[in-house]
Amino acid sequence: MISTNQFRNGSHIDVDGTIYKIVEFQHVKPGKGGAFVRTKLRRASDGAVIDRTFRAGEKFRPVRTEVRRMQFLYRDGADAHFMDSASYEQLTIPETSIGGALRWMKDSEEVEVLYIDDAPADVQLPSALDLAVTETEPGLRGDTASGGGNKPAVLETGARVQVPLFINIGDVVRVDTRTGEYVSRA
Q: What is the mean pLDDT of residues 141-158?
A: 73
Could you read off the pLDDT of 36-71 as tens digits, one per residue?
989 998 887 777 788 989 888 888 887 888 888 888
Whether the model pTM is above 0.95: no
Residues 75 and 53 placed together within one structural domain of the fold: no
* Structural contact between residues 23 and 49, judged by C-beta atoms closer than 8 angstroms: yes
Q: How many domains does the chain have?
A: 3
Q: What is the mean pLDDT of residues 18-25?
A: 85
What CA–CA distance (Å, rounded) separates 2 from 160? 40
Q: Which residue has the higher pLDDT, 79 or 148?
A: 79
* Structural contact between residues 186 and 170, judged by C-beta atoms closer than 8 angstroms: no
**pLDDT value of position 147:** 58
Instruction: Tell me how crowded residue 126 is: count the other CB atoms within 10 A of its CB.
Output: 11
**pLDDT value of position 136:** 85
Domain, as residue range, for 112 = 65-124
- Helix (H/G/I), strand (E/B), else coil: 95: helix
Instruction: Give the CATH number, domain containing residue 163.
Output: 2.40.50.140
pLDDT of 18 > 70? The answer is yes
Q: Which helix (H) or strand (E) holds 79?
A: strand 79-84
